[in-house]
Amino acid sequence: MVSNSEKYTEKKVKRSMSQEKRNSIAGYLFVSPFFILFAIFGLFPMLFSFYLAFFKWNGLGEMTFNGINNFTIIFNDPIFWKSIYNTVVIGLLGTVPQLIVAFLLAYALNAQALRFKNTFRVAIFMPYVTSIVAVAILFSIIFNSQSFGLVNSILGVFGVDPIVFTQSEWGAKIAIATMIFWRWVGYNTIIYLAGMQSISSDLYEAAKIDGATLSQQLRYITLPMLKPFILFTVFMGTIGSLQIFTEPLIFFGGNLREEGITVVAYLYRDAFENNFFGTASATAIVLFGIIMIFSVLNLLITNRLGRGKARKA
Amino acid sequence: MKAITPTQPKQLSRKAILYSLLTFAGLVSLFPFYWMFVMATQPNHVINQTPPALLPGSELVTNFTNVLGTIDFFGAMMNSLIVSVSVTVGSLFLCSLAGFAFAKLQFKGRDALFVLILITMMIPPQLGLIPSYYIISQLGWLSDLKAIIVPGLINAFGIFWMRQYIKEAIPDELIEAARLDGCSNFRIYWNVVTPAILPAFATLGIIVFMNVWNDFLWPLVVLQDQSTHTLQVALRALSDSYNRDYGMILSGTFWATVPLIIVFLLFNKAFISSLTQGAVKS
Amino acid sequence: MKKLWKTSILAGSAMAILAGCSSDESGSGSGSGGGSETIDMWVFGTTGYEELAEKYMEENPDVKINVQSTEMGDHHNNLFTALSAGQGAPDIAMIEVGEIERYREAQDRFANLYDLGAKDVQGDYLEWVWNVGQSADGEFMFGLPTDIGPTAMYYRKDVVEEAGYPTDPAELAASLNTWEAYSQFAKDVAEKTGKPVVDNAELIFNAKRDQADEHYFNRDNELIVEDNAAIREAYDYTVSLIEEGAVGNMPLWTPEWGQGMAEGSYATLLGPAWMQGVVKGNAPDSDQWMITTMPEGAGNWGGSYLTISEESDQQEEAYAFIEWLVSPETQLESFKDMGLFPSTPATYEQDEFINYTDDYFGGINTAAVFAEAAEQVKDVYKGRNYLLVQGEIMTALNNVLSSGGDPDKEWDDAMERIKQRLERE
């Protein structure tokens, strides 16, 4: 017995020595495909954009060095600042209520003894499957500026004058945020649901025996256990909403107006409508900085929130 | 007994709230599909009607025949299928492998590399179009499905997702035990990790598949030859710039969505069973 | 620029070797650009060029043409990307008239059609159309003109009649021969029918603008819009109609715009020849639409050019094909089959053209109306940032129209935005 266990520990030590090395090699090997592919298809385009930010270039002619002028130009453009403001406002409008609703829907879908569970689940996830064309046509009717548009006719019932959505400060933002909400709410519901399903039912059973109410279970079991999923959706939501551009592009049908122009739409307009690649690249760099700041901020905040809750539980 | 009776109406009303909430959400979500179907059965000018038509019309066959006359619908669908399946299978493998390494293996610079991956997610991709195109043309991959499949395997999001999942779902003891049995890291990944993360595969698989199927910005640029067009690229050809036949466009869009719905429904079952399985196991 | 690409070729191939996945494939790349027998052609929209290419191949069995049709915006973006990366452009590419300006910079990536014999056919085409296709110094020819989009006045018989004006095309044109008369007409329409005279601010502004000799930039590509009295006049004219309540708010291509067309929600539509198909599509059951000439002249909206890329190794075969494709004879075919309006005046004299009538538009010879308009179009320099300026002016007009903005302030703001954005060039 004694010798056996001695052997065992000896073996374990020996193994873990070489194991460390093996883990290292395997680790590098397993993550290398991403970095190799990224080096080929991602790095060069990225460096190229960075380089372009200091040049004037129209895509076809000569490049001319422009120093930090591209940055000066966009910083002096009130519409650039407006686009940042719009992005943040639309992002908040489109994401915060969306995540809350997604959580509620997931919670409802996770209810025990719920019938037609699968049907509901499929239905709610469906918008994620739609193509941009369908979304564009649908929402142009819902948010039509004429009095017959769906939203305007509802407002009409309450005696409100029709809103010209494309030219209204809040109308444009709400319309764009609604498109985002509708398209993504089902997706986040499914993610939360997957998270909820991974919580062991034993935990709830134990809580029930301890006499915990539904809201206590929600607060002390579901929320803390869902932390990685919530963190994930908040993180993705932040990155996603800072990069919104298809929706405003569709909504304005070409002529982007300052009521709803987002940073990426601003960048896209410079690059692909006017071929001002220099300022477009400068905008991309500024946007990259903003995304970094936001991501770090919300990682910090979510971490702290999550930790607080976990401790309580 | 006394305690239970008063809760029953409360439970009933809770149920009513539950069902009406879900029904409402389901209807709001499904309506556009129905509406897309309605428009796919109508002649063009009906889309301009107010209020818009809510019942199917008679042009179902005509509109789809027009689609078939304008684009190679089924050929494009085949291309979409090849691309979507390849990217899905490939990136599920690569993402879970990397996710496993980031979650469970110790190696120098691991956290730094992971942060690097997160950072790549934050780069706005729109500007990379021209240099990326250039690389593809240098590789000789223009009008080749590889141009979509290979770069499509880069999926920072997927690695992130897999890392989170593996970290939570697989106890370190399990891996230690496998190691004591003499398993190599790849064997551990293959025999221990993969079976335990089926739900994550199902979820990420759906997400990747849908994204690849619906993507058009990049395929549009590199798939120049019509024989290599994916569905979304082919569908763009239905929008004549000067005169749009919405009936035909939506017919194409609708029928292009149907396989996606079917795939989702099939996949969804596996997804659910693997979910419950995963729950039982843990 | 070239240097950068060279370095990146090196970097690119180094990475490719690193990945170990390139060399065996790249040689046999099945890309459409490289084939030496097939002539690749990129077009957009419904041109009917696929069928014409078939016909050409039957007559010339040794030529093989592969026509790829893409949506208009995508088509131009793809072409731009290929030209910018310096690789992958087709032998023949169609370029829309509004897009051609941004390709002038890339003259070295196109074949000079004058070297391939374009001088010989110059006389077949309308002068202003031809001029858009060549460089400023007239030395370089980018592309042969395909169809054009001369503008005329579409009108609703019922609305015009209700306003107390003649419904006969010639008589209506005579009574609306000046913009002043049109302004009075707008007032009468608003008063008697309660309907706007035009669908939106854009088309009326464009109609006035297109009659000016210079628009937003001069031929040295300097911004002149602020001091160009003709443009300000077009702006003020549009504003005056807005203030009369005579301008509708039905933006182009929206469902309400199409619906307005079907229901006759406005009196006139100042549109190009190809808009005939749009009107028929949106109002298939209407028998009220007619066409006549616009007050004081005409403009052009649309039409394309067929270019040949420098990298093509079959420039001569490609040129022979496009010369045939847009010759007066073939353009007559395109007109009959697809409604593409010819850029070759000789076609206007053909019997089939003279005797052309359209029952939808009251059985009148619509072709003659547009042919007359085509001859009146002015040769205007547009410049590569034309659409940028246009977009900002439209924003100003729309603010006046639906948010009650002050016209002078909106104009000044638009000028400010234009200058701000042009600093980037």
Among B188-192, B232-236, C16-20, name the most confident range. B188-192
Does the beta carbon of A75 lie under 8 angstroms from any beta carbon of chain C? Answer: no
Contacts of A164 in chain C (CB under 8 A): 249, 402-403
Does the pLDDT value for residue C171 go beyond 90? Answer: yes
> What's the confidence (pLDDT) of residue A53?
93
Nearest residue, CB atoms, A264 vs list B126, B207, B268: B126
pLDDT of C136 over the 90 cut: no
Average pLDDT over residues C362-376: 93
pLDDT at B8: 63
For the ranges B32-41, B120-129, C75-84, which has the lowest average pLDDT?
A: B120-129
How far is C395 from chain B, CA to nearest CA, in Å? 22
Dist CA A81 CA A263 (whole Å):
9
User: Cα torsion for C277, C279, C282, C283, to the nearest 10°?
Assistant: -120
Q: Which residues of chain A have pLDDT under 70?
A: 1-17, 132-134, 137, 254, 302-303, 305-313
- Residues of B near C (Cβ–Cβ under 8 Å) read 43-45, 47-50, 129-131, 133-135, 137-144, 146, 150, 220-221, 224-226, 236-237, 239-245
- Averaged pLDDT, C382-405: 92
- The mean per-residue pLDDT over the stretch C231-242 comes to 97
Name the pLDDT band for C394 (thresholds 50, 70, 90): very high
A-chain residue closest to B260, CA distance? A129
The answer to whether the CB atoms of B282 and A198 lie below 8 A apart is yes
Query: How many Å is the maximal CA-CA distance in chain B?
Result: 79
Instruction: Establish if A5 touches chain C: CB-CB under 8 angstroms.
Output: no
* Least confident piece of the model among B27-41, B70-84, C326-340: B27-41
Q: Which residues of C touch A253 (CB under 8 A)?
A: 251, 253-254
Q: Is A8 on the interface with C (CB under 8 A)?
A: no
Q: Quick check: C103 and C306 in contact, CB under 8 A?
A: no
Judge: B142–C72 Cβ closer than 8 Å, yes or no.
no
**Within C326-380, where are the H helices?**
328-338, 345-348, 351-354, 366-376
Report pLDDT for B121: 83
List chain C residues with CB under 8 Å of A59.
Answer: 80, 84, 102
Q: Per residue in A58-67, is it b (16+ CB within 10 Å) or e — as a string? A: bbbeebeebe
Res. C31: pLDDT tops 70: no
Residue C95 DSSP SS3 = strand
Give C293-319 pLDDT, tens digit per residue. 999 999 999 899 999 999 999 999 999
Per-residue buried b or exposed e for C14-47, using 16+ beta carbons within 10 Å of the residue's own CB: ebbeebebbeeebeebebbbbbeeebbbbbbbbb
- Cβ neighbours of A297 (radius 10 Å): 11
- Rounded Cα gap, residues A281 and A51, in angstroms: 8
CA distance A123 to A107: 16
Using left for φ > 0, alpha for ψ between -120 and 50, and beta otherwise, residue B140 falls in left
Quick one: average pLDDT of C19-39? Answer: 44
Banded model confidence at residue B218, pLDDT cuts 50, 70, 90: confident
Q: Distance from CA of residue B198 to its chain's centroid?
A: 16
Pairing of β C143-156 and β C64-70: unpaired
Provide the residue type at C278 as one letter: V
What are the distances in angstroms from CA A47 to CA A34, A201, A285, C212? 18, 49, 11, 46
Give the mean model confidence (pLDDT) for residues B11-34. 86
Q: What is the pLDDT of residues A237-281, one digit of tens each?
A: 888 898 888 888 878 876 788 898 999 999 988 988 888 999 999
Contact across the interface for C424 and A48, Cβ inside 8 Å: no
CA distances from C347 to A302, C138, C301 (A): 72, 25, 20
- The arithmetic mean of pLDDT across residues C396-415, rounded, is 93
**Of the partner residues A108, A132, A264, the one whose CB lies closest to the CB of residue B21:** A108
Give the C-alpha distances (Å, rounded to integers) separating B180 from A3, A8, A11, B170. 18, 10, 10, 16
Q: How confident is the model at residue C32 (pLDDT cuts 50, 70, 90)?
A: very low
Average pLDDT, chain C: 88
How many A-B residue pairs are in contact by the CB < 8 A criterion?
233
- Cα–Cα distances (Å) from A31 to B93, B99, B156, B166, in that order, read 11, 8, 11, 15
Q: Is A212 exposed, middle or buried (0-12, 13-18, 19+ CB in 10 A)?
A: middle
> By C-alpha distance, which of C303, C385, C310, C319 is closest to C106?
C310
Which of B130, B135, B141 lies at the smallest CB-CB distance from C84?
Answer: B130
B97 pLDDT above the threshold of 70 = yes
Tokens of B158: 């997927």
Q: Do C15 and A44 touch (CB under 8 A)?
A: yes
Instruction: Give the separation between CA A86 and CA A172, rounded to whole angstroms.
Output: 10
Place B272 in a pLDDT band, splitting at 50, 70 and 90: low
pLDDT exceeds 50 at position C10: no
| Helix residue spans in A198-275 (DSSP H) | 201-209, 214-217, 223-225, 227-242, 246-252, 263-268
Lowest mean pLDDT among B134-138, C65-69, C414-418: B134-138
Which among A40, A79, A255 is the nearest to C16, CB-wise?
A: A40
* Of the partner residues A76, A144, A275, the one whose CB lies closest to the CB of residue C102: A275
Parallel, antiparallel or unpaired: strands A55-56 and A64-65: antiparallel
Going by C-alpha positions, the residue among C4, B153, C425 that lies closest to residue A48 is: C4
Q: Is it the case that residue C402 has pLDDT exceeding 50?
A: yes
CB-CB: which of A41, A131, A190 is closest to B232? Answer: A131
Residues C29, B144: C-beta atoms closer than 8 Å: yes
Q: What distance in Å separates the CA atoms of residue A131 and residue B277, rounded to the nearest whole number?
A: 32
pLDDT digits over C253-285, tens only? 877 788 889 889 999 999 999 899 889 888 888
Q: Looking at residue B123, what DSSP letter applies?
A: S
A chain contacts of residue C424, beta-carbon cutoff 8 Å: 56, 70, 73, 270, 274, 276, 278-279
Chain C touching partners, 3 or more CB pairs below 8 A? A, B
Q: What is the pLDDT of residues B33-73, one digit of tens each?
A: 888 888 888 887 776 666 667 788 888 888 898 888 888 89
Nearest to C284 by CA among B43, B246, B242: B43
- Phi, psi for A200 (deg, rounded to 5): -65, 135
Please tell me the distance from the alpha carbon of residue C208 to that of residue C392, in angstroms, as a whole number: 17
Cα A155 from Cα A147, distance rounded (Å): 9
% of chain C with per-residue pLDDT over 70: 92
pLDDT of residue C25: 34
Among chain C residues, CA nearest to B50: C259
Number of H helices, E strands in chain A: 15, 2
**Residue with the two structure tokens 């004037």:** A56
- Only one residue has tokens 């209520």, namely A97
Q: Which residue in chain A has the smallest CA separation from C106?
A: A60
Picking from B12, B14, B29, B163 by the largest number of A CB atoms within 10 A of its own CB, the best residue to mutate is B29
pLDDT score of C30 more than 70: no
| A169-197 and A132-142 helices, crossing angle to 10° | 130
Query: Angle between the A169-197 and B198-214 helix axes, to the nearest 10 degrees?
Result: 150
pLDDT at B1 over 50: no
Nearest CB to A141 within list B52, B214, B250:
B52
User: For residue C246, what pLDDT is reported?
Assistant: 94
B243 band by pLDDT with thresholds 50, 70 and 90: low
- pLDDT at position B277 over 60: no
